[in-house]
Chains A and B, each alone.
Chain A
């Protein structure tokens, strides 16, 4: 069975400092993993995806994530937070079966 755990429901960082949003997953096979961002009252936008190629994945707006199979983790990072990064972030796992499983989300606050 698949599941996703986002370890922090809320993260606060100061502008210009690094961002770390943590995601652990469980999957029986080789999963596809995604991070999405949702700004207030908007739909979800894809940040990056892992689909069994390079384990370090670069996404939009300076975000990246590293797939660590031994730790079943897919943490999202950014070297320097910007005010516009304040949003809700979702980690998503999928494997064969045509279903995507969402974490409960991490709300990122950026302090000026």
Chain B
């Protein structure tokens, strides 16, 4: 029972490069989301999805794109990496949104130079 799986665990990018952070869950959760964690700021929501084909913006969506073609997968794309996107990224899913607890992946540590 894998839960929420994120890849890669670590990534270093140069400014302007693009990449995709992968997130997959095997719990048949409808709700999936991406957060970034920065020191002293808690976790901030980037994008979320309440089901396949449905996505919406969170608190800090600029510079990131998402899509949800299947229930299981919710990739996060950085279109043109900037040093301000250096952070730890967490994917989380839940059964039914706000009333259900989030299940987290182990995170991706991204450094943009």
Question: Footprint of B on A, CB under 8 Å?
Answer: 4, 9, 32, 34, 36, 41-46, 49, 51, 90, 92, 94-100, 102-105
Contacts and interface: CB of A to CB of B under 8 A. Distances in A.
B42 interface: yes
B58 to A, nearest CB: 7
A90 B42 contact: yes
B99 interface: yes
B48 interface: yes
A51 B98 CA distance: 10
B48 A98 contact: yes
A9 B41 CA distance: 11
B78 interface: no
Nearest to B6: A43
B43 A43 contact: no
Contact of A43 (B31, B42, B104): B104
Contacts of B53: none
Contacts of A51: 99
A24 B46 CA distance: 23
Contacts of B74: none
B40 A104 contact: yes
Contacts of B83: none
Contacts of B98: 32, 94-100
Contacts of A34: 101-102
B15 interface: no
